[in-house]
Structure 1
Amino acid sequence: MYEFTIIVPVYNEEENLDRVEKELLAYTKIATKPTCILFVNDGSKDNSQQMIETICSRNKAFGFINFKENRGLSAAIKAGFDNVTTEYVGYIDSDLQTAPEDFNLLLEHSGTYNLVTGVRADRKDSFVKNMSSTIANGIRRAFTHDGMDDTGCPLKVIKTEYAKRIPMFKGLHRFLPAMILLQNGTVLQIPVRHFPRVAGTAKFGVWNRLIGPLMDCFAYLWMKKKYINYEIENKG
């Protein structure tokens, strides 16, 4: 019935979930591919899970996964990848600083590219947040040579067969384009809109955006050296 699943990682976002429901439900009506929504509740301590269950009970295109305890963004995305059955999978942050409607811009190229990622144009974040992200992206590009300007953009579309082969570990959500390239896949970046956070609080500080990604680059280099990639010609 569906061709595209949007993963929505959630951690203590009760102030945003009513808006998430409204905007994602509206998007499903204009999406260029039949679309469903998969919440992944990453062990929230607030009322997020109860709200998610209520949202899913009244919207047949919405479902959820609920973690027993907090495991981080990469784990939430990985759980989503593991559980989707549609041809394409994407994700968006529950703070909705990017617009669901812009998924259509990415889907235009999904038949040609194995991963299409947004690039946040005219970012509406603080100077410190923007600067730390710029530095982190520059460091990551130097290690991965993936050519991507904004891997932290929470708006991506991936062919599910490629997403399921990504060996995720904590922090690797920033390296999704590089991991697709390791599979000899193709990647493309498209400018998308960006908005200020209107509710809730950011879950990442300077450590998460700068020091952490630097350490993850060495993990990526190790994985690149050890990565196993193969194609099956036929079966019998």
Structure 2
Amino acid sequence: MQHTRQEIGPRSPVAPGTPQVSVVIPMHDEEGAVADLISGIAEAAAGLSDFEIIAVDDGSSDRTFEQLVAARATVPQLRILRHSSAGGQSAAVHSGVRAARAAICCTLDGDGQNPPSELPKLWEPLLADETGRVGLVAGQRLKRRDTFSKRMGSKFANGLRRRILSDGTSDTGCGLKGFRTEAFLALPYFNHMHRYLPALFKAYRWEVVLVEVAHMERTSGRSKYTNFGRAVAGVADLIGVFWLLRRAKSVSAEETAADA
């Protein structure tokens, strides 16, 4: 679906310098989660020298946008992007990362199920990496607070994906992820790519770090996916990502041979 992106308000209302971290939040009909989420992120990032929060309102039909505008009055590091129509989670994340000013981006879901207090677990390994080889830090949810059917559907999908892609992770659906901005933007973009980031980063020669994170019950909105809908999309995605990974390995082998 085609959509246009618009940034609302001043681009950098507090500090003119480059932030250490940009926190990107995809949001669609999450009005009830906005206030606590934004204030929680600001509290978690208080130890950084500078940060920004980029909330992407992905075509919400409720008062998500109005709540974001209100939150900016108390958290001036907040920037608001607005899609004219809903493009999906990957599109919202991609818009936010493209707008980010920091070399490191972290993401979390907009429904309140990812505790903002877990964010330092994402950016600390990236900030401390002196080798420059760590590209992605991926959260792995403990004691998921989802329905039984959703947990079972995710367990099956994660097992199938892990066997086919050999990505070494048991939970790619967790919204808590941290990565190098430039590395993320160099990856091929496609719908639902946020679920395949460990495999993609590994294919493009980046190291991936897994960290355990907490998970909370949903405080706002409703799930954007059904098990059936996720399964149908997942089959096509798996085929496409499998081809991408084989292509990436082929290109890497050709480059290595050419350099020999």
Same fold (TM over 0.5): yes
Aligned counterparts of 1:198 and 1:174: Cα–Cα separation in 2: 22
Name the SS of the counterpart of 2:151 in structure 1. Answer: helix
1:204 alignment counterpart: 225
Name the SS of the counterpart of 1:131 in structure 2. Answer: helix
Query: Which shifted more, 148-157 or 98-107?
Result: 98-107
Deviations 1:38-72 (A, max 9, x none): 00111111111122223234422100111111111
Name the SS of the counterpart of 2:138 in structure 1. Answer: strand
Name the SS of the counterpart of 1:63 in structure 2. Answer: strand
1:114 alignment counterpart: 135
Name the SS of the counterpart of 2:23 in structure 1. Answer: strand
1:49 alignment counterpart: 65
Aligned-residue Cα RMSD (Å) equals: 1.9
1:14 aligns to 2:14 (yes or no): no
Q: What is the identity, as a one-letter code, of the residue corresponding to 2:101?
A: T
1:28 aligns to 2:45 (yes or no): yes
Name the SS of the counterpart of 1:82 in structure 2. Answer: helix
Shift of 1:78: 1.1
Aligned counterparts of 1:160 and 1:7: Cα–Cα separation in 2: 11
CA contact (8 A) 1:121 1:194 kept: yes
Shift of 1:33: 5.9
Q: What is the identity, as a one-letter code, of the residue corresponding to 1:18?
A: A
Query: Which shifted more, 53-62 or 15-24?
Result: 53-62
Percent of pairs with identical residues:
27
Of 212, 228, 231, the match for 1:191: 212
Deviations 1:135-182 (A, max 9, x none): 111111122111011000110100112111121211111001111112
Q: What is the identity, as a one-letter code, of the residue corresponding to 2:100?
A: V
Shift of 1:211: 3.1
Tell me the matched-pair count.
230
1:4 alignment counterpart: 21
TM-score by length of structure 2 reads 0.83
CA contact (8 A) 2:140 2:213 kept: yes
Shift of 1:209: 3.5
Aligned counterparts of 1:208 and 1:185: Cα–Cα separation in 2: 31
CA contact (8 A) 2:106 2:122 kept: no
Aligned counterparts of 1:160 and 1:51: Cα–Cα separation in 2: 27
Q: What is the identity, as a one-letter code, of the residue corresponding to 1:9?
A: P
TM-score by length of structure 1 reads 0.90
Aligned counterparts of 1:198 and 1:91: Cα–Cα separation in 2: 18
1:219 alignment counterpart: 240
Aligned counterparts of 1:106 and 1:8: Cα–Cα separation in 2: 14
Which structure has the larger Rg? Answer: 2
Aligned counterparts of 1:130 and 1:143: Cα–Cα separation in 2: 20
2:8 alignment counterpart: none
CA contact (8 A) 1:28 1:36 kept: no
Deviations 1:14-55 (A, max 9, x none): 11112222212222224x563210001111111111222232
